Structure 1
């Protein structure tokens, strides 16, 4: 069965993130998605214990608090990966990482030229026990228009998954977010 992550970013698009999160989890979602740590921390403060993936990450964000809150973190740059790894060393926590691939949205995620170094460094950090790459994600630029409008993005995503697999990573989940 496919896993579904309910995206509750931006206060669940104005519908109330906590209320929608509870409804989504009760009706079969396997996790939640938000853009920022701030949004994820709000869900945790409200008692939400479900897995939460967050994907707009900056090197200056509070990675220690994110690891303590057991967030899944989408990483699209080496700078962010290294910042998280440093916190993993000092806190002795293992970071749960999704590699974030730019599938044509051109606003977040690793571009093709940045992807292989990110994959290889992630694999080295995984071998060291600092992180665990649990997934791969990317935003399709025109998801609402259907697959025929996203062929290039789907190909980029498939290539990224293949590169991660060849490098020895075994991400359990693959998330394609169309918003």
Structure 2
């Protein structure tokens, strides 16, 4: 186990990350790839994943929060980096000084970026976020002429460079949904507004993982894959990772803390949502919702919980979370003939090609998406990174 010692770990295969980035490059051959490493690289580890993605040919890194961009720079990573989510008063001057591209996603952001450029003594590189239909952040189309005019004027003053226009699709995971074409049309009109006003755009970017893999007409000069970098399918209804040549990078495993025989009728965990139907053996897995394991992964008498793999090789068994997930642990009914011992390893999720449950299996069991399963994994679970030798600064 990694230091500090903990009875569980997330093993992240950086070879898988590199392979996935190469797949994404091939899927969008006319575009540069921005590997999105926000939220601690979807729980996989910001710096190791960023370096692995760059080694495989990504030329941009994308993060939501300014602190994430500054952490990349503090680690000596100099690749083109874009950050997009901040409220008034954010440390934009630090970002500009650190050569980080920033988004303007609301009219108030224009003057804040200009003030940051003055404080930094250098022009800011700006990407204008347009709300093309997601209803989240972004300048509304009717606000565009005024906002663009101000950005171009500030560019003329040498305070900023309007280098990009970008947006986000609401239904990218349903490639045939009519909103995909509709948002693309709104986006194209926004680009025309910017160019007619005098912007000389370096990049347009609209495609996330799903659109990178399935919707070529929105690739433009830059694609922004996130989930697929980590080997998970952004369109599970169309196919799992193997359907797109992806390989899951994270395996979450733990060591059994206790293994003990109990009688029939034994209540298991809080509320006794499960009672043993026969004499059996229970195992205690030392991961819980304090580690980011969803409480919705719990099992009851009638509904099995999320799947886990117990054992190795031909003798490995797919079992399920038994009873309610606790803050630090959950139980598994190992069956009356169990041979496991305390200290044996169980796999919660990993690469389905190895026989392990997947993050998608856990998402299905919990009524959520695979993004949440990996991203919510707590900081106290050690990350062990394999095959880091190719990583550049």
Return the TM-score normalized by structure 2.
Answer: 0.44
**Counterparts of 2:176 and 2:73 in 1: how far apart (Å)?**
34
Question: Which residue in the other structure is 2:127 paired with?
Answer: 98
CA contact (8 A) 1:141 1:178 kept: no
RMSD of equivalent CA atoms = 1.4
Question: Which residue in the other structure is 1:20 paired with?
Answer: 49
* Number of positions where the alignment pairs a residue of Structure 1 with one of Structure 2: 179
| 1:82 counterpart SS class | helix
**Counterparts of 1:177 and 1:66 in 2: how far apart (Å)?**
24
Residue from 161, 171, 175 that aligns with 2:201: 171
Moved more, 84-93 or 19-28: 84-93
**Counterparts of 2:48 and 2:195 in 1: how far apart (Å)?**
37
Question: Which residue in the other structure is 1:144 paired with?
Answer: 173
Residue from 80, 84, 93 that aligns with 1:55: 84
Q: How far apart are residue 58 of structure 1 and its match?
A: 2.0
Question: Which residue in the other structure is 1:155 paired with?
Answer: 185
CA contact (8 A) 2:37 2:49 kept: yes
Corresponding position: 1:5 with 2:34: yes
| 1:143 counterpart SS class | coil
**Counterparts of 2:55 and 2:166 in 1: how far apart (Å)?**
24
| 2:173 counterpart SS class | helix
Corresponding position: 1:114 with 2:143: yes
Return the TM-score normalized by structure 1.
Answer: 0.94
CA contact (8 A) 1:76 1:118 kept: no
Question: Which residue in the other structure is 2:70 paired with?
Answer: 41
* Structure 1 residues 28 and 90: CA distance shift in structure 2, 3 A: same
Unmatched 5+ residue regions in structure 2?
A: 1-29, 210-393
Corresponding position: 1:80 with 2:119: no
Larger radius of gyration: 2
**Counterparts of 1:22 and 1:68 in 2: how far apart (Å)?**
22
Q: How far apart are residue 148 of structure 1 and its match?
A: 4.1
